[in-house]
A and B are shown apart, each in its own frame.
Chain A
């Protein structure tokens, strides 16, 4: 949908609008297999899309109200609107391809909803069937004109349409003898649309019905018809291989009807009709012509018009492109590749750890002073962190195991290990943006969006990126995160729908000071001093009680610092904050008087024919030809008046 809400004035009164309702989609294949030599001939394949086409001339205001179930109720003040419907088939039929390769390709762009895929006919086309109106080469599909729809199987006069049908799969039905009138409870024209996309063009979903002799057909086909063709035996030209050689098969539809249904979830296309999701606004429009704030109109485009430089961008309808680039976890992380051990340790277990270290047999240390194996024991405590999240977010817990510290294993102290696997990407949350005004006021610099992320702070968000960015619907802000227990960082991935637009990291973990120096390093110092001072009685020292020497030797060592169980840094303050993300939006407010549009006018900036103007309009630099007899003074009067504003 273009940013410009287009020229609603063309659709606010009597006008013609169109509704194309998909009815049936079928793919047929047929062929003949010889009972003599098994050779195959007359292989053909066709793609059929049938649509009911309503061309409705309204004599008064008419509007489409789309409810939460995507049912579009077409409402009007008048019960005398004239409508007619036609039955239109689009059929693509291949020529006989016999034993030659069958060609197919994806159709990426067709007039909305007509076909989800295409068969490229190789050497001709052929029509058949009782109700085939037009057999159209697929290449021409985009240029089918809706101005003069082809139709058949209907009868009508000024008050009655001789066609009556129910919407597939029990959807609300309609009776075209009373197409339009009044409220949604009384209107008879109800059409299923997909307002997000389908109304403006997605392929219908098709079901499959599999009958005999078909291989490799997936159970359900989405929009990718080409994929289906590729997977069928038909495309491989072996569709008849499973047919018994004694059977001479000649009737196409009796062989197989590969794909047929009533397109239960397909979407109608509606052109040139104002639609809204606000029922009260719809009724108000019928009452006084006020255009709903969320009004849209799917303007039928004339594809034959060349797009000149001036026309290009007149309505700001360039669309953005967003590839998906969602974050994903790698197969390994740094911890798995290292010689580190991570323990998910409670406060009591931490106390036990300290006690265990303190209560280490000093004989070991004295011996270690000579061997050197404990000299750097404390350096094996890499870190102690407080990072309050679940174990799953950190990579999950493993087995409980004795604490390993350098060359020592504390068998009596078994603790849950953690982070043995790669930390997952955690979905933090989503926020779906909504426009307040459906106008420039929803965009920067008038509307400002910021995102608060715990441990990071406030992150500016590109408002325009989420408020439409190219004329589309508002986007969803998705926040995902990765918790890194090794670095203590939390990394946020900020996404627009499925496209990552930025990532930021914040320090989540609080490093807890570990004063094990009080135990292990002191012993190491003692030992080193002891070694340096008492080499001569090394033998006694080894067998003696080192505690007895502490008072003597300790004079040469630092005073033992007081032990701290664990102390947090100032980072603890972050845990006092609210634990959720927050979106912070500053909206502007209009100060617009009620008669603003009538005496000042809304910004328009469009090229219009003067005769098409209604109400108050200001024209910039009017180009007025001097007609026969028009004086220069009169010309200037007209120009001045148009520049000042006139009521048409």
Chain B
């Protein structure tokens, strides 16, 4: 069987891997007892010299991408242990699903604080005076409030005096 070997320069957390140095290895075999999640691939020992460049492969029969997790050199073959990259392998199947994105590098809801954004304990302050003077420091007036109607007329006074004498 043919297997596509690649050099993957992406982070393992990257969904869509950047793959370079593609090489199709022919005459590869699967180990007798293997599985689709962590298969072991046997390749010819003559290809050993070129294996050092590769860390990623695709097994067309499985239709999956794999990380190369280990290479074991035996007498005339190399056993390449693989670990499935499910995120990349199945991307086409779930890329059209809608998901709840809670944190994102490029989508930012500035008005949500979910507790993971560190806040410094040292606050800073803005104290700003504004407006006019509410009171006048140079004011020298008082407010005198009185009640009354003012002086009585002479007639009114006379009437009061007369009544009081009585």
Contacts and interface: CB of A to CB of B under 8 A. Distances in A.
A, B in one complex: yes
Interface of A: 3-5, 7-9, 12, 291, 315-316, 338-347, 350, 353, 367, 370-373, 380-391, 394, 402-409, 415, 418-419, 427-431, 437-441, 443, 446, 453-455, 479, 481, 485-486, 490, 508-509, 512, 566, 575, 578-592, 596-598, 600-611, 613-625, 627, 629-631, 633-635, 637-638, 641-642, 644-648
A213 B108 CA distance: 59
Nearest to B133: A579
Nearest to B125: A586
Contact of B134 (A441, A481, A618): A481
Given A350-B142, A604-B108, A615-B105, A454 B135 contact: yes
Contacts of B55: none
Contacts of A486: 145
Contacts of A587: 123-126
A12 B157 CA distance: 94
Contact of B142 (A512, A642, A648): A512
Contacts, number: 374
B124 to A, nearest CB: 5
Interface in B103-151: 103-114, 116-120, 122-137, 139-151
A291 B105 CA distance: 12
B19 interface: no
B50 interface: no
Nearest to B164: A370
B128 A582 contact: yes
A408 B63 CA distance: 113
**In the complex, the 6 A-B pairs of residues with the closest C-beta atoms, listed nearest first:** A429-B131, A601-B103, A615-B105, A388-B139, A627-B93, A439-B110
Nearest to A289: B106
B155 interface: no
Interface in B40-56: none
B103 A388 contact: no
B87 interface: yes
Chain A contact residues: helix, strand, loop or mixed = mixed
Nearest to B142: A345
17 contacts: A3-B110, A3-B111, A316-B111, A347-B140, A371-B160, A384-B144, A388-B136, A406-B148, A428-B132, A582-B127, A584-B125, A585-B126, A602-B104, A604-B108, A604-B109, A606-B100, A607-B98
Given A384-B142, A481-B134, A585-B125, A604 B101 contact: yes
Nearest to B119: A588
B75 interface: no
Contacts of A370: 161, 164-165
Given A579-B133, A604-B101, A609-B98, A415 B148 contact: no
B130 A608 contact: no
A437 B110 contact: yes
B101 A428 contact: no
B135 A579 contact: yes
Interface stretch (B1-9, B10-18, B20-28): B10-18
B15 A380 contact: no
A115 B119 CA distance: 47
Given A389-B136, A623-B99, A638-B87, A580 B131 contact: yes
B37 interface: yes
B86 to A, nearest CB: 4
Contacts of B81: none
Interface string B35-74: 0110000000000000000000000000100000000000
A342 B143 contact: yes
Nearest to B124: A587
Contacts of A418: 143
A382 B143 CA distance: 10
Contacts of A637: 84, 86-87
Contacts of B133: 579-580
B17 to A, nearest CB: 10
A614 B106 contact: yes
A619 B123 contact: no
Contacts of B94: 610, 624-625, 627, 638
B36 A371 contact: no
B144 A430 contact: no
Nearest to A566: B142
Given A438-B110, A589-B119, A605 B90 contact: no
A481 B133 CA distance: 12
B56 to A, nearest CB: 16
Contacts of A350: 142, 144
B136 A439 contact: no
A316 B63 CA distance: 43
A613 B101 contact: yes
B72 to A, nearest CB: 23
A499 to B, nearest CB: 18
B134 to A, nearest CB: 4
A8 B108 contact: yes
A407 B157 CA distance: 10
Given A581-B134, A603-B109, A405 B146 contact: yes
Among B116, B148, B151, which residue has the most Cβ atoms of chain A within 10 A? B148
Among B63, B86, B119, which residue has the most Cβ atoms of chain A within 10 A? B86
Nearest to A402: B150
Contacts of A641: 13, 86-87
Contacts of B142: 345-347, 350, 384-386, 512, 566
Among B104, B117, B148, B157, which residue has the most Cβ atoms of chain A within 10 A? B104
Contact of B98 (A390, A512, A588, A608): A608
Contact of B131 (A419, A430, A606): A430
A415 B144 contact: yes
